[in-house]
Amino acid sequence: MKIFLDDSPKESIPFKVRDYSSCLLCSAMYEPLFLKINNEFTENLIIDNTQNTNIALTFKEFYWSNGERCTPEDLKKTLFYIIENKLPLAQYIDFIEGVKDYLDGDIDDLKNIKISTNSDTIYIKSLTNSDYYKHVFSTIYFSPVKFIKGLPSSNIVYGPFQMETENNWMILERNPYYEKNICEMLEFKVEKDPLINILNFNGGNLDVTSTTILYQKYRKQLIKNKNFRQKKSNLSLRIEFSEFFLNQKNNLVNSIYELIENDEYLKNDIVSSIKKVNNGKYDGVKHDKLTVLYSDYYPNNILANKIGSFYKERNVNVKLKHGDLDYFMEEYSKSNYDICINVAYPITQNKVDYYIEKIDFLPESRIDCYIDLLNKWIDGKIDEYLLDEYLDKFALFVTIGDLNHHFLISNSMEGFIIDDNDNFIFKFLEGK
Specify the 3-state DSSP secondary structure of 240: strand
CB 237 within 8 A of CB 270: yes
CATH no., domain 2-173: 3.40.190.10
CB 83 within 8 A of CB 90: yes
CB 158 within 8 A of CB 144: yes
Q: What is the DSSP string of 258-275?
A: HHHHT-TTHHHHEEE---
Give me the residues paired with residue 117 across strands: 122
The structure's pTM equals 0.88
Give me the residues paired with residue 36 across strands: 41
Residue 336: predicted pLDDT: 82
Give the whole-angstrom CA distance, residue 427 versus residue 179. Answer: 9
Specify the 3-state DSSP secondary structure of 301: helix
For residues 204-227, give the mean pLDDT: 71
More confident residue, 203 or 40: 40
CB 244 within 8 A of CB 286: yes
Residue of 145, 156, 159 lying closest to 80 (CA atoms): 145
CATH 3.10.105.10 segments of the chain: 236-403
Residue 231: predicted pLDDT: 77
Tell me: pLDDT of 58 over 90. yes
The alpha carbon of 373 is separated from its chain's Cα centroid by a whole number of angstroms, namely 25
CB 216 within 8 A of CB 8: no
CB 313 within 8 A of CB 305: no
Tell me: pLDDT of 78 over 80. yes
Tell me: pLDDT of 229 over 70. yes
CATH fold label, 236-403 = Dipeptide-binding Protein; domain 3 (3.10.105)
CB 27 within 8 A of CB 42: no
For residue range 286-300, list pLDDT tens digits in order. 668 889 999 988 889
Residue 326: predicted pLDDT: 86
More confident residue, 429 or 362: 362
Other C-beta atoms lying within 10 Å of the C-beta of residue 9: 20
Tell me: pLDDT of 133 over 70. yes
- b/e code 143-165 from CB counts within 10 Å (16+ = b): bbbbeeeeebebebbbbbbbbee
Tell me: pLDDT of 20 over 70. yes
**Phi and psi of 412, rounded to 5°?**
-75, -15
Mean pLDDT computed over every residue of the chain? 89
Residue of 410, 407, 430, 411 lying closest to 420 (CA atoms): 407
With cut-offs at 50, 70 and 90, classify the pLDDT of residue 313: confident
Within 8 A by CB and 6+ apart from 335, the residues are 242
CATH 3.40.190.10 segments of the chain: 2-173
Specify the 3-state DSSP secondary structure of 372: helix
